[in-house]
């Protein structure tokens, strides 16, 4: 009998570098307690869909625009998640705020990676390069990334893992973004996914 793995769905909007980090971790065995079964993009042009195809992972497109309302959009995502028996949802550069009813439905089953050390430079309006621009404007010497559970408050859920990254003299937001991805996000996102998947399986076994 093959050992049960937690089924993972990754929600994406863009290039999918964090998705690639998860795929690479799965291939190398660092992500062993879970398996990526599904990738959902809210943008049909997302390069992440090509990464999913290359890894032979089903990729689906569900857009807010085509859905007509947030409620219908989220219901379509839920139907897809249920069709693939999803245990864990990973937001990997997913540029859409999910409603309180959605996050409540999947309590402690949604994780997100944010490119700062929460509680710094987080919450509404802090995403992508804006986070790194704010960190440089403040003059911090250390930044990093955080993986946290998702609740109804943007970047407000319980922290799972954090990793610090040095800010260097002359950094631009783009240079800092790359360093934070390479030295923190791509390391702690797969590690946190493994930790949460292992806990999901462990609870099932005990239950």
Q: How far is CA 53 from the centre of its chain?
A: 18
148 is catalytic: no
What is d(CA 126, CA 54) in angstroms, rounded to the nearest whole number? Answer: 31
Q: Is the distance from CB of 88 to CB of 200 less than 8 angstroms? A: yes
Task: Compute how many other C-beta atoms are within 10 angstroms of the C-beta atom of residue 96.
Answer: 16
Q: Which residue has the tokens 């973004």?
A: 177
Task: State whether residue 207 is helix, strand or coil.
Answer: coil
Q: In terms of DSSP bridges, do strands 34-41 and 142-149 run parallel, antiparallel, or are they unpaired?
A: unpaired
Task: State whether residue 185 is helix, strand or coil.
Answer: helix
Of the residues 109, 114, 148, 179, only one is catalytic, namely: 114
Supply the residues annotated as catalytic.
114
């Amino acid at each position: 009998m093959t050992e049960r793995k937690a089924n993972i769905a990754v929600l994406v909007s863009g290039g999918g570098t964090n998705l690639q980090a998860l795929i690479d971790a799965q291939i190398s065995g660092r992500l062993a307690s879970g398996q990526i079964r599904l990738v959902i993009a809210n943008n049909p042009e997302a390069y992440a869909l090509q990464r999913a195809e290359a890894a032979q992972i089903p990729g689906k497109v569900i857009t807010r625009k085509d859905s007509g309302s947030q409620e219908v959009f989220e219901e379509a995502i839920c139907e897809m998640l249920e069709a693939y028996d999803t245990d864990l949802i990973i937001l990997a550069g997913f540029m859409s705020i999910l409603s309180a009813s959605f996050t409540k439905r999947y309590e402690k089953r949604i994780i997100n990676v944010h490119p700062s050390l929460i509680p710094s430079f987080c919450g509404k309006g802090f995403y992508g390069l804006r986070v790194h621009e704010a960190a440089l404007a403040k003059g911090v010497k250390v930044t990093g990334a955080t993986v946290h559970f998702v609740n109804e408050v943007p970047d407000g859920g319980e922290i799972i893992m954090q990793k610090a990254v040095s800010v260097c003299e002359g950094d631009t937001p783009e240079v800092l973004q790359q360093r934070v991805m390479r030295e923190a996000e791509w390391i702690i996102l797969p590690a946190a996914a493994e930790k949460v998947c292992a806990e999901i399986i462990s609870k099932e076994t005990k239950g």
